[in-house]
A and B are shown apart, each in its own frame.
Chain A
Amino acid sequence: MPHTLAGLFWRALYETGIMIGASGAISFAVGLPLGLVLLATSEGGIFQTLWLNRVLGGLVNAIRSTPFIILLVALIPITRLIVGTSIGLWAAVVPLTVASTPFFARLVEVAARGVPPGLVEAAKAMGATRWQILRHVLLPEAFSAIVANFTITIVSMINASAMAGAVGAGGLGDLAMRFGYQRFDDLVMAEVVGALILIVTCVQYAGDALARRLDHQ
């Protein structure tokens, strides 16, 4: 039993890693520009377009207010369309990505809003186009805060991935549920939770260290 359980543990760790890695990468790639668009199209933004801001903002809020377990089920048709199946590891990547992208986008928006308006004004004064302001001022100046916020996103994704067991994706959370909770095996439960704490701590530490390196304030 201990041998098989260890095997299950490494497998679960691998599954969690894949889920977080894939969803995290997509969330970053999509959430980063989405967050900047949210800021730029808002009132007083460099690309002020209020209708677009309201549409995107509404969509982001709608997804963010839907509980993940509901999203998991509600997205099944879309998941099937994208990965061809509604169960298994990759089937969990879709709802995880959909849930974390708007979350991260909002955090990017907040980070970019923290760039002093004087810097944008200085860039305008030196003849920067609006795209150049985004690329050379807002993004690099907010990047350290964006990295810190991406760390938060990853941690909340690890949290949400525990529910991915509902679509048979496995992962550490699923292991804890099935063996620890449903079979009343306190030891497995404790081990898995311990492992999750360790992972989150490492992610947070690495994220903080990177953010600090990038911060020249």
Chain B
Amino acid sequence: MTAAAKGASVRFAEVGKSYEPRGGATVEALRSVSFDVAPGEIFGIVGRSGAGKSSLIRLVNGLETPSAGSVSVDGIDVGSLSARDLPEFRRRIGMIFQGFNLLHAKTVEDNVALPLVLAGRSWKEARAKAGDWLGLVGLDDKRKVFPARLSGGQKQRVGIARALALNPSLLLSDEATSALDPESTRSILALLRDINRRLGVTILLITHEMEVIRQVADRVGVLEAGRLVEEGPVWKVFGSPAHEATRSILAPKDREALATSPGRVLVEIDFTGADSVDPDLFVITQALGPGCRLVEGAVERIQGRAAGRLIFSVPEPQNGEGERLIGRLKPIAPKAEFI
């Protein structure tokens, strides 16, 4: 269980991917996508279903080839690899899946041993090593069990052990927690984080859940209709989303639900995480003035910073009082407005 020497870097350069279904119009899954994943970081791609996430992650290990641009891992252009070179290349990259994709006819141990056997080790040697990895993911007692007898979370742990079997420098996670309950999701994400820290493996993950990004990613890219519309550190993108798509994935706001009594208006205050200080409620209520009420809101810790929004209702301001109110809020939170 030697630690990977160093995590791999990934570069997407103007990558496009289009499909031509038989008798159908061309579908552009990805358009001119560019981003870099630094060695050892956890980079998350978030997007709604159909945004092109699956295509994107499959380009990294050559399960699909780009129609335009290039994808490279540690400087190796994946698209230029021949069918002969691909197996060898893929052994440096682990992959885990939403549906786990464990082999039913093999025991847990043999599932984890398989990549080693495919790489030329004996079953005996491979099983011994598989045992080490199963220990790391906390499934030491399930070695001889068949996957059908495991829970979803346990299956994904086997998937992770299998993906790590060949000491990869890059781990691809394709919606790895989407089929799991919230508790298993948390423990799998914690495991991924732990593996990233301990082994230095770079992780590229795709998900449709912001929660997943929030819990593990260092940086995030938002994919919308095949384009990367936003990219940056998670606290920044979450704290002050620049693109409409990010905002809608972050919080599908239902303004209708925020009922206001007559004579009152709503004020939204966003905390972007840009300030290192935590929101001071006393200062906020002072700025809002007497009669302010908390309607809705949440502030969370993202990468140690406070980000979120609070919605207050205040008595409807008269002649210019509104502007002064916003003015008082500015020093506390850069984004404050009537909604």
Interface residue ranges, A against B (CB under 8 Å): 116, 118-119, 121-129, 132, 136-137, 140-141, 143-144, 214-217
B103 at the interface (CB under 8 A from A): yes
Q: Which of B256-297 contact A (CB under 8 A)?
A: none
Q: Name the residue on A nearest B149 (C-beta).
A: A216
> In whole angstroms, what is the CA distance A137 to B89 when docked?
20
Indicate if the CB atoms of B90 and A137 lie closer than 8 Å: no
A141-B105, A217-B104 as given contacts; A126 in contact with B99, CB under 8 Å: no
Contacts of A136 in B (CB 8 A): 114, 117-118
- Number of residue pairs spanning A and B whose beta carbons lie under 8 angstroms apart: 72
Indicate if the CB atoms of A127 and B115 lie closer than 8 Å: yes
Indicate if the CB atoms of A125 and B114 lie closer than 8 Å: no
Picked from B106, B114, B147, the residue with its CB within 8 Å of the CB of A126 is: B114
Q: Within the complex, what minimum Cβ distance (angstroms) separates B162 from chain A?
A: 7
> In whole angstroms, what is the CA distance A162 to B103 when docked?
41
- Would you call the interface of chain B mostly helix, strand, loop, or mixed? mixed
For this complex, into which size category does the number of interface residues on chain B fall? 20 to 34
Contacts of A126 in B (CB 8 A): 90-91, 94-95, 114-115, 118, 162-163, 165-166
Indicate if the CB atoms of B105 and A140 lie closer than 8 Å: yes
Q: Within the complex, what minimum Cβ distance (angstroms) separates A60 from chain B?
A: 25
Q: Within the complex, what minimum Cβ distance (angstroms) separates B15 from chain A?
A: 19
Could you say which of A121, A127, A128, A143 has the most chain B C-beta atoms within 10 Å of its C-beta?
A127
Q: Name the residue on B nearest A132 (C-beta).
A: B118
Nearest 5 interchain pairs by C-beta = A122-B101, A127-B91, A125-B95, A216-B146, A127-B90
B148 at the interface (CB under 8 A from A): yes
A122-B95, A132-B118, A216-B146 as given contacts; A127 in contact with B105, CB under 8 Å: no
A127-B87, A127-B115, A136-B114 as given contacts; A214 in contact with B105, CB under 8 Å: yes
Indicate if the CB atoms of B106 and A127 lie closer than 8 Å: no
Q: Name the residue on B nearest A139 (C-beta).
A: B105
B61 at the interface (CB under 8 A from A): yes
Q: Within the complex, what minimum Cβ distance (angstroms) separates B97 from chain A?
A: 6
